[in-house]
Amino acid sequence: MRRFFNSDSMLFRILTILMEFALMNLMFILCCIPVVTAGSSYTALTESLHLFVQKGEGCFSAGNFLKTFKNNLKSTIPVWCGGLLSMIVLLYEAGYWFHSFRGTARIILSGICLLLFLLVFGILQFWLFLTGRGQKAGIAFLKDCFLLSLARFPSVLLMAAFTASPLLLLLLSGSVLIRMAPVLLLFCFSFPAFFCVRLHEKILPPLFPALFPEDD
């Protein structure tokens, strides 16, 4: 029995990873309680996950999470609120055009709205992750995030799928969903964000080498 709970055992490592992901998830939810701070909270979450990818389990610190959250609060609020409002409007417009027109027109118009929605989502993804890495906010950086969303649109689609994946659980029956509520509370944001961070790790280091030192 001792070997299963040894600090070098696979079971111990898995439990450590699950605990860290749960803590990240709870910290993220707590820092999102005012919706306007959700962008900064996501920045802190992705930076924590970046450190996890680079250094492995045992590196998460609530203090570092809150420090990243606080340092990026002012710079992320305008972009996050503007992006969130834009995505809500675009989703509404997509639904409006889809139900108000018939034939090819509704597909084209609603499709344009969904395309713009994904571009805004991609801009937010790149902005929030790179801001957590230390990139300074500005118009030029916003333009870079827009160009990244266009150039890496397939990756943006994957990140959108990862982010929306917990919604698939809504297809389950109400009783099953209630039983799974504790699991959702602990992992519904951290795990999807982890896969998004893995995509960022493949795309961004060659483009922003100063933000990704080799000994990071």
Per-domain boundaries in the chain: 2-211
Average pLDDT, the chain: 87
Amino acid identity of 24?
Answer: M
pLDDT of 180: 74
Check if the beta carbon of residue 60 is closer than 8 Å to that of residue 77. Answer: no
Per residue in 89-118, is it b (16+ CB within 10 Å) or e — as a string? ebeebbeebeeeeeeeebeebbeebbebbb
Per-residue pLDDT, averaged over 81-99, amounts to: 92
Per-residue pLDDT, averaged over 85-94, amounts to: 94
For tokens 């960022």, the residue is 200
Range with the lowest mean pLDDT among 21-30, 51-60, 124-133, 143-152?
Answer: 51-60
pLDDT of 121: 97
Contacts of 65 (CB under 8 A, 6+ apart): 24, 27, 44, 45, 47, 48
Range with the lowest mean pLDDT among 80-84, 108-112, 150-154, 163-167?
Answer: 163-167
- What's this model's pTM, rounded to 2 decimal places? 0.89
**Residue 165's pLDDT band (cuts 50, 70, 90):** confident
Per residue in 184-213, is it b (16+ CB within 10 Å) or e — as a string? eebbbbbbbbbbbbebbeeebeeeeeeebe
Per-residue pLDDT, averaged over 175-201, amounts to: 86
Q: Which two tokens mark 214? A: 């080799």
